[in-house]
Amino acid sequence: MIRGFRGATTVADNEEKQIIEATAAMLDEMVTKNAIDSEDVVQVLISATPDLTKTFPAKALRVFRDDWTYVPVMCMQELSIEGGLPKCIRVMLTARTDLAQQDIHHVYHEEAIKLRPDLKEEHQ
């Protein structure tokens, strides 16, 4: 079965190191909690809000695991919505898995927890 795994995080400042570290921490937790193997990944889509301009968040994927060299990744800009969460990085990772929809661990860090308060208890 192919399923989507969601993640989001925020950074305090528009700095390359913060963007890469926050994205790597989120991706690492997504991969670990869901036992995702790079060979099972179909694609990874990463968006960042328009106020994050210092680096591509996708660089984190290449930094945090060596076996992700051939995983297709695309960065894009998140919609600029009035009242939206600033300095936010979102991920949609699509992979083959045997997990049921309700057993998938979506990962929300920092201020991004506000995006899905219904999942907050699951990941404390």
> Catalytic annotation on 70?
no
Question: Quick check: 60 and 68 in contact, CB under 8 A?
Answer: no
> Catalytic annotation on 96?
no
Spot the catalytic one: 6, 29, 39, 82.
Answer: 6
The verdict on whether residue 108 carries a ligand-binding annotation is: yes
Residue 107 CA to residue 113 CA, distance in Å, equals 9
The verdict on whether residue 65 carries a ligand-binding annotation is: no
The verdict on whether residue 6 carries a ligand-binding annotation is: yes
Structure tokens at 96: 């083959």
Spot the catalytic one: 3, 88, 108, 110.
Answer: 108
> Catalytic annotation on 3?
no
Spot the catalytic one: 21, 29, 65, 75.
Answer: 75
User: Could you tell me where the DSSP H helices lie in 1-124?
Assistant: 16-33, 59-64
Question: Quick check: 89 and 48 in contact, CB under 8 A?
Answer: yes
Closest CA to 44 of 61, 28, 23: 61
Spot the catalytic one: 21, 29, 65, 116.
Answer: 116
> Catalytic annotation on 121?
no
Spot the catalytic one: 3, 88, 90, 110.
Answer: 90
Spot the catalytic one: 3, 78, 88, 110.
Answer: 78
Question: Quick check: 81 and 50 in contact, CB under 8 A?
Answer: no
Question: Residues within the annotated binding site?
Answer: 6, 90, 108
Residues involved in catalysis: 6, 62, 75, 78, 90, 108, 116
Question: Residues within the annotated binding site for prephenate?
Answer: 6, 90, 108
